[in-house]
Structure 1
């Protein structure tokens, strides 16, 4: 039950998801005709008029036509806002026609133009369009990512309807994923926004979805109350499609619980409503549900009758007129055969004439069947190509999102973020933390170009990244010329002190080597300490995996109290590695709020 992205941009006075009342349709048709007349009567150069025309148009073919006109006119003058609007409407047209890959491609182009003229509200809305398209292609992971991006931006703007719609759609996606707690949280928040801006139709969709959520929780009385409230509002807006959907949902819930009587009541209400207003798709769905109810209750004749009605209306919705015409041809042929038998005593000329007619009918029928088969084959092939192209685009975008996420977060943390939408901070009892620092970095940086300085730092830190990966360590961050990493997280292990010592030795050996290029050579000191930490990510923008605690502070003090070319460690780390590595005691320091700490140098081997 998504609120369509078209509604967010082209808000008139009702949702365009399920239709409008006759009065509303008539008013919109009158406005659209007036705009077209004004445009073709001399307003071709008025881009504002063309934008208004696009805002009212709902036919995808016409929307595509005028969208391309706006695109051509705007490209000449590089009008970013109009280029954004043109690609948005072209994307909407393709999405309405079922071409999700083309729709998505145009939405991303529209996003590029919105970013160029720095309109956060338009950026937030195009994120909703992208999220809705991923949702339609059943890629819930990417849909949630873009819903969250849109909410983050729209929260800082003035478009309450757009914000409420984005939050509602995210809640609906969580409902489809079976994450009821998140679905409830987002839907209730959307309802509060719609109530604040006095938007009853938005409240109705929230109430309907809350009913579905409570039903899945098993709270049938609350679910029924919410859906009945939604239906009461939807009836005022003549949104009978949505009413029929909610009634069928309640029927399915009661059917799963084995309460056939209640299931039958709700499904029959949906069917009656759909028949009254000619909603063929819902007539078909209601009959299918009724057939399941009758089958479960043991009423086989009723089940068969409802299933036949389901097939009948399903075929009507799919518009299989060609099959009916073939049936008519076959009937004509059979009638002609009977006529030959009845008139067998007629003159030979009349018999020949009837045979000729029969043969013509057979030829026409065969030709028609062949044409129908060819059309079906073409449509099937085009559908296959469309699905293949869509899957390639979606898979490419999914892989890109995965790579970006894994580049900034550990794999375990990234999985938790994708599954739960957040990451809980974790305490880890034993982690070994390493800090590095280059000698006289500030003084050296004042005497060389910034480009050469960055190139030199990059040369060393790339090798440090390789070494941390080699020994299973987690890079935490770099601060200027300081490099920080840790072992034993996010997955705990018992070898992290040894792993960090081996990595430290390899880092020191790399820095001490003689360079054969013109990069800057530095002297480096290293500090190491082992202890408990708290790990996680904070904030909602530019996520970074980080660690906190006294262990981090003490490791930093070990580094500042080391000397160039030496690896300095705390007594805690020394006790864990002394049987495998030779060390020498080198004194102690007073760590603020932590007392006196003994320090050891790792001897060179």
Structure 2
């Protein structure tokens, strides 16, 4: 049984659980901080949103205020709860109850926290919300762990997972329950649930979930060789899924430290070769990503390795790289150790000089030998100085190249204007745009296509299509916002103004449509059919939070563009009335009539006549 001392730490663990599992998360849940709160407040005041949009805004703000002001977060949760009741939105109401449970756990109000966790659980079960019942069960299980209730709630959680319609979420639920037992040091139960999740991931061929659960099992085994094999398996699946972040973290935090410990204890040639092979492979991966913390860890471990081998120059080289990435006390101590070795070398050279000086007193022959030794000494010093100068130039060149890479990476993630603001002031305020044009695309029957194709073929085809889309919108000066699964979102008219933004976006959509038609003719069922939707209107655009910057847009215009895409047809481009009015003089369209759109009412829609352009 789990100890009651574990209860308080588990309560705070729920916040991380929500981020991982919640099926109805706030729309901007990954973009945290005060800037988003301010942007949402400004949008709420300026746009006069309907109740459904206002409910989403309140849910976002509850999430954002959770670490800033518990009182404000609970106040907003009250407003969201009232709106959810009014709209009869049971799924969002269950999410709000769950949020209140977490907030009360943060302020040690245990009774209230348990009450709202039960309410979320009961409501989700009653209305059969997709994955939320499973989440609520897990949360309720975590909240209510006691000697008499533990077995019942765990059994109920497992039973709910059996009936979960989505096998992926079932695997994640089993793995998370196992991970919870591992944190409580109940290794036997943890091994069962994690093992079950791993086996189902194998049966379903979910490589990402296989990698996650292999990594979880590493912490359950005592044998280092077995642990290394599990970590290596996790690496293989992360690499296959192109989950390079997890792959690199696995290498730097688990695999390489175990190899280094093995070499430190055994001085084995096999361990040394394995460490070098994996560290070099990890270096090549890290070189393509902005992962400074992992690069710091890796350089420090390589420095430790070369120090163990007695290769002071190489150890010093990697330690200098680590020092330039981020100075820390541990790394500083290593640097001092290397510098101490250099100081001892200099002392030895000075001692040699003193001995030659004494030899001069013994005779001409000894004086001649002393002169030869002195010349040798100067030569050694000159070589050392030359090597240090060359090393410094090399480091400077490396730093310059890395700075260029970082600049290129930044411009690949953010618009130049936003990147410039960040470099100048460390922040970039979100901006309101009165009129831009938003493009949404989505592949029709993507799930069925995935069943006909292998995972690698599916990913390769998706990459080919999105790469072509990127090239097309770049020609028209359109800003790519993001991809969401098989959906693609872009916007014209921001961050730089473009008076013809609607025309450019529609022309880009036509080019995308023609590319997909050609692709379908070439590959048949191995390619996708596509729907496209376009709408013009006001948005707020910018970056929010302080980590993992991403340029994004918010506003009802985005939702309306999504509705245009949903009401389009395969191989067609559906545009709204506002977009039509901007392009009617240049692009022929066919009026479809007034069509009811979800949460939007009746809207006028038009098909673009691609065949006549």
Question: Does 1 or 2 have the higher relative contact order (CA < 8 Å, sep 6+)?
Answer: 2
Larger radius of gyration, structure 1 or 2?
Answer: 1
TM-score (norm 2): 0.41
